Amino acid sequence: MNELRRPFLQGPIVSLVAYNYFFYAIVSIFISYLPVYFTSQGISPVQIGILLGVGPFISIISPPIWGYLSDKYKTVKNILILTLVATILFGTFMFRSVSFEWMFFYVLVFNFFMSPIGPLTDSLTYRVSEVYRIPFGSIRLFGSVGFAITAIFMGFVFERIGLGYISWVFLAFGLIALYTCTRLSDAPSSLKPVSLRSIFSVFQEKRILWFLFVIFTLSIPHRINDGFVGVYIESLGGTTGLVGTAWFFATGSEALLFGLSVRWLRQGRELQLIAWAAVFYCVRWILCALLADPVLVTYLQLFHGLSFAIYYLASLQYLYRLIPPELKSTGQTVFAAVFFGFAGIVGSLIAGWIFEAYNGQFLYITMTAFSLMGLVLVFITMFRERTMSRQ
C-alpha cells in the first residue's frame, strides 16, 4: 500500500522518468533545429521539404516492423536499446553533413531507427503506468519537459556558438539517453502469441482504418508546423533563440496538459476531446497566418498544449480500446506510421512547395483548412459511433 502511495519513488518509475526526459531532449534537437541547420547550409525550402518528407516515408515502414518484433519477442527495452544506438550514430553524422546528397542519405537511415523509438517509448510508459496505477500523462510530461528545456536552452547556446557544434550536442544528449535506457525495466506483455495473420486481421477492421484516416488528416498540419515553424519565424525576422523559445512554449504547455490529464481524460469521451483539439488547431494556425510577427507566432505556440496534448492522449486512449492487449506495441507504431509517416510525407512536400511558391502566411491558411477537414471527419465519427450504440 505504501508503494502505491509513493509510486514515483520506485526505481522503475525513476528510470522511466529520466529516460523520457533525455530521449525527448534529443528529439528536441532533431525537430527544433534540423530544419534551421538545413537552412544554414544553404538548402532551399523545396529541398528542405524533400528532406523532411523522405524521413516520414521511411517512418511508414519502420515503426510497424519494430513494433511487430517487440510484440513477437515480448520485449520493448531491448528493441529501444538497439534502435537508440543506431539513432545516435547516424544522427551525429547527419548533423555533420553539408551536401544535399549526404543529408538525404543520413536522414533516410536516421529515420529508420529513430521513428519507432517514440511510439515504443510511449508504449512502454503506458504499460508501466497501468501496472503502478499512475496516469500515463504524469510520466510522459517529463518527456515534454526535457524537450522544452532543451529547445530554449540550446536555442540561446546555438545563437552564441553557432550550429557548427550541433552534432556534438546531439551525441552528448544521445549517450545520456542511452545510459538511462539501459536502466529501464521491460514492459509487462501478454502471454498470447503474436502472428502476422492476427495483425492483418485487426488492421483490416473498418472502424480502425477509418480512425487512422481521421488521424492522418488532422496530423498533416501538425507535421507541417513541426518542420516549418522555425523556418517561418526566421523568415519573419526572428532569431535562432526565438525558435528555441517557440518550442519551449509549445512543449511547456504540452507538459502542463499531460500533467493535468488525470483531470480531463475520461474513458468514452475521446472523440469529443479530439474535436476540441481540432478547434484549437484551427485557431492556432489561422492566428499564425494573420499575426505574421515572429514574436506573436512564438507566443501562439502556447496553443500546442490545448491542441497536440489533448489530441495525442485522447487518440492514443481511443486506439488502445480498439486493439487487443497483445498488439499494443504494434498498434502504437502503426499510429506513429500514420502520424509521422503518411502525414509527414504529404505535409512536408506540400509545405515546401507552398512556402517557396507563395509564403509562410498562405501555408498556415492551408493548414487551417486541413484542420477544419479533420474536425468534420471527427464529427462524422461521433455520429457513426452514436448510430452504432443505438442499434
Do residues 230 and 360 lie in contact, with contact meaning Cβ atoms separated by under 8 Å? Answer: no
Length of the chain: 391
Tens digit of each residue's pLDDT, the chain (391 residues): 344 445 555 677 888 999 999 999 999 888 778 888 888 888 887 888 788 777 777 878 888 888 888 877 888 899 999 999 999 999 999 998 888 889 899 999 998 999 889 888 988 888 888 788 888 888 888 988 898 888 888 888 888 888 888 889 999 999 999 999 999 888 665 545 555 565 566 667 788 889 999 999 999 999 899 888 888 998 899 987 888 888 889 888 988 898 888 788 888 889 999 999 999 999 999 999 999 899 999 999 999 989 999 998 899 889 888 887 667 667 777 787 788 778 888 887 788 888 888 888 999 999 999 999 999 999 999 998 888 777 6
Give the span between the Cα atoms of 106 and 374, in whole angstroms: 33
Give the span between the Cα atoms of 37 and 40, in whole angstroms: 5
Show me where the domains of the chain are located. 8-183+195-383
The amino acid at 206: K
Write out the three cell numbers for 133. 496505477
Cα 279 to Cα 49, 84, 225, 271: the distances in Å are 26, 36, 16, 13
DSSP state of 9: G
Residues 6+ apart with CB under 8 A from 2: none
Give the span between the Cα atoms of 340 and 2, in whole angstroms: 40
Q: Mapping DSSP to helix (H, G, I), strand (E, B) and coil, where does residue 94 land? A: helix
Domain 8-183+195-383 has CATH 3.30.1360.120: no
pLDDT in tens, 263-274: 888 888 899 999
Do residues 271 and 318 lie in contact, with contact meaning Cβ atoms separated by under 8 Å? Answer: yes
pLDDT in tens, 70-121: 877 888 899 999 999 999 999 999 998 888 889 899 999 998 999 889 888 9
pLDDT in tens, 111-138: 899 988 988 898 888 888 878 888 888 8
* CA geometry: angle 237, 350, 374, nearest 5 deg: 105
CA atoms in the 13 A half-sphere facing the CB of 248: 14
